[in-house]
Amino acid sequence: MAELWSLIILNPVLNGLIALSGLLPREVQFGLAIIILTIVVRLILTPLTLRQLRSTKAMQDMQPKMQELQKKYARNKQKLQQETMKVYKEAGVNPIGCMWPMLVQFPVWIALYQSIMKALATTPENLLDLSRHLYSWQIISQALPLNSHFLWLDLGQPDSFFILAILVGGSMWVQQKMSTAPSTDPRQQSTSSTMQIMMPFMFGLFCLMFPSGLALYWLVSNIITIATQYFITGGWGYLKSPFPMQSGSRRMS
Amino acid sequence: MKNRILICLSILCFLVLASGGCVGGQQKPVGFSGVTAYDGILYLGSTDGKVMAVNPSARDQNLEFPSSSDGEWSYAITMLSKGISCGSSSVSVSIYGIPVMVNGLLCVGTYNGKALMMSPSARSQNSDFPQARSGEWAYPRTDDVIAPIVGSPVAIGDTIYICSSDGRVYALDATYGDERWKSEPLGGKLWITPVVEQETVYVSTFDGHIYALSTEDGSLLPWAFEAAAGFVSSPALYDDTIFVGSFDRNLYAVRIGDNEPLWTFPGGNWFWAAPVVKDGVVYAGCLDGKVYALNSKTGNKLWEFNAGSPIVSSPALTDESLVVACDSGDVYIVNIKTGIGARVKNPDDSQNVDRPTIDAHIQGSLCILDGIVYIRAQDNCLYAVDVGKVKRGWKFPLTIK
């Protein structure tokens, strides 16, 4: 299974990343390659991302109706289920429709993550392991070993200035704030508020532990998600206005 | 309730990742130190950060370790952890190079960026390190460190030459550990063992250069060789020619003073291990799983032996045989004239199952002493293989408290 994963997904992404590095100026090769590859992968996956965003948006738009149904059929679970499915059907929304595009993208994210970690090869064991995944292309052999310096960063080490940690945490907070609809249910609202703080905080901490190459990938990925959300769902979403649902849904339709 | 679950999951996730944070979130460097022999005692680094002296005859008799009357000892090298979640706890270091015996003392380079000179007598008494009276020292002397050391030290006269990941070559006084000189950064990490001959230090670099440095002051000498791809292996010097493996999957032969390679030989992957040269023949193990015997003058292939698994450790030579150990754990005794090899069987093999000679990866360099090859495998055990009998002997676990 691991070999199949390497053959089909990991090796093409890894070799693509290194070959791309070989085409770029050596001073900034790997940092720029991470940025470009992240953008390229996100572009390829755009149809799936759009589908996911639209499904999520449609689900959020249906929330007031769902809450009404929950109140109405609080004591009859079977009826609630039937009515919920009916509403989904009328709106033409598949409740798991927003999940599968994310699931399809997941292996690509993992491969990108693994490729960055492998390509950096900061220890002799990592470098040996890298040799098992490489194609015999001339451009790859000439690109190795990759120059891990980019701007103020050593991409193989955590950012000692904490700049990336702040940027990753901040961009993740913005991204979540833009897309998470405020809930009228206090419990649900409390959960989403906790998540909006915990996730950026955690990723900020990860940036202090993981190689900054990975943090750079998270940052670029977050920025692309913010941009996509901005242009697809129209504006800053829930970041600026706590209840822009109606205007947002009008723009969507 | 949901909130609590989320917070608990987040904390758990954080702790799991924080444990990786102790090594900067990277795969932990384990180390694959080779074995060296001096006065009938084997010296090596273990995967749990110990430098050990092992007496083969005491292991033959299965005596309790360390048998101090037989010159055995073990010393754990530790460093203060800098990981966020690890506080100030001490962790073991990794050792990649082969220890070197210098005037009765043992010199070791460690991945945490220290060069250490150890006295076997002080270590066998388990005294605090360093015992200056016994000639022990650490470079740098203070808590400071240089960049990780992966290659082995080289001792010439009273000077130790050692390469570091900061791209510099360091020349240290063998008696006191003083820094005689350090070179300018030479281009990328230097994960190699330098070659020193006739007052010149030769190093091959990750950015594809072979440099010659003066042993006097570390200054660059006029000649340097530049290749299109970086060099991955340590250089080997024979008959004024440097043999070195490259990231472009070629083995290069470069005559000192020339700007063009004498020849290049293509392999199926990198030549990671430093080649071994004897009697005009270059024996080079490759990560494509083959060992190639090449004419040192022409690069013509005399024979090749397919070991079937990447060869990470340099092969070891006896008068008639080449001992080849592969990453899979198989060990082969290859006839250097014919290139025909025999696999050393695992003594635990049953009739229907052919297990590798050693049930662990082999990445450290081999050592031959009195017809026995000693191999430190990645299961942190030391193995003895009888070359003449093509038979595996004792296995000694190095994980001892």
- Give me the tens of pLDDT residue by residue for chain B, a chain 401 residues long: 445 555 555 554 544 444 443 333 346 788 999 999 999 999 999 998 999 999 999 999 999 999 888 899 999 988 776 555 555 667 788 999 999 999 999 999 999 999 999 999 999 998 999 999 999 999 999 888 999 999 999 999 999 999 999 999 999 999 999 999 999 999 788 999 999 998 999 999 998 999 999 999 999 999 999 998 899 999 999 999 999 999 999 999 999 999 999 999 999 999 999 999 999 999 999 999 999 999 999 999 999 999 999 999 999 999 899 999 999 999 999 999 999 999 998 888 776 778 899 999 999 999 999 999 999 999 999 999 999 999 999 999 998 75
- Residue A14 CA, chain-centre distance (Å), reads 19
Examine residue B280 and state whether it is found in any structural domain, yes or no.
no
Neighboring chain A residues of B267 at a CB cutoff of 8 Å: none
Structural domain including B375 reads 307-401
Query: Would the ipTM clear 0.90, i.e. be above it?
Result: no
Of B163, B193, B223, the residue at which a domain comes to its end is: B193
Of B178, B193, B208, the residue at which a domain comes to its end is: B193
Contact by Cβ (8 Å): B230, B208: yes
Taking the CA of residue A191 and the nearest CA in chain B, the distance in Å comes to 5
Examine residue B286 and state whether it is found in any structural domain, yes or no.
no
Asked if A126 lies within 8 A of B270 by C-beta distance, the reply is no
Largest pairwise CA distance in chain A:
69
- The CA-atom distances, in angstroms, between A109 and each of A38, A103, A106, B301, B311 are 9, 10, 5, 44, 32
Examine residue B302 and state whether it is found in any structural domain, yes or no.
no
Residue type, position B374, single letter: Y
Examine residue B126 and state whether it is found in any structural domain, yes or no.
yes
Residues A51, A101: Cα–Cα separation, whole Å: 7
Examine residue B122 and state whether it is found in any structural domain, yes or no.
yes
Out of A145, A191, A209, the one facing B188 most closely (by C-beta) is: A145
Asked if A141 lies within 8 A of B27 by C-beta distance, the reply is no
Tokens 């206090």 sit at which residue? A186
Give me the number of domains chain B comprises. 2
B181 and B320 housed in the same domain: no
Please choose, from the candidates A105, A118, A134, A116, the residue with its C-alpha nearest in 3D space to the C-alpha of residue A41. Answer: A105
Contact by Cβ (8 Å): A177, A239: yes
Asked if A194 lies within 8 A of B189 by C-beta distance, the reply is no
Residues B269, A7: Cα–Cα separation, whole Å: 17
Asked if B228 lies within 8 A of A142 by C-beta distance, the reply is yes
Asked if B26 lies within 8 A of A214 by C-beta distance, the reply is no
Q: Supply the DSSP symbol for A7.
A: I
- Whether residue B231 lies within 8 A of chain A, CB to CB, comes out as no
B180 and B57 housed in the same domain: yes
Assign 3-class secondary structure to B296-311. Answer: CCCCCEEEEEECCCCC
* Three-class SS state of A162: coil
pLDDT of A33 > 50? The answer is yes
Residue type, position B10, single letter: S
Examine residue B277 and state whether it is found in any structural domain, yes or no.
no
Of B176, B193, B210, the residue at which a domain comes to its end is: B193
- Whether residue B310 lies within 8 A of chain A, CB to CB, comes out as yes
In this prediction the pTM is 0.83
CATH number of the domain that B57 lies in?
2.40.128.630
What part of B 96-155 touches A (C-beta under 8 Å)? 96, 150
Examine residue B395 and state whether it is found in any structural domain, yes or no.
yes
Neighboring chain A residues of B29 at a CB cutoff of 8 Å: 123-125
Residues B221, B283: Cα–Cα separation, whole Å: 29
Examine residue B15 and state whether it is found in any structural domain, yes or no.
no
Out of B191, B229, B268, the one facing A124 most closely (by C-beta) is: B191
Q: By a Cβ cutoff of 8 Å, what residues of chain A touch chain B?
A: 117, 120, 122-129, 131-132, 136, 138, 141-142, 144-145, 156-158, 187, 190-191, 194-195, 198, 202, 205-206, 208-211, 214
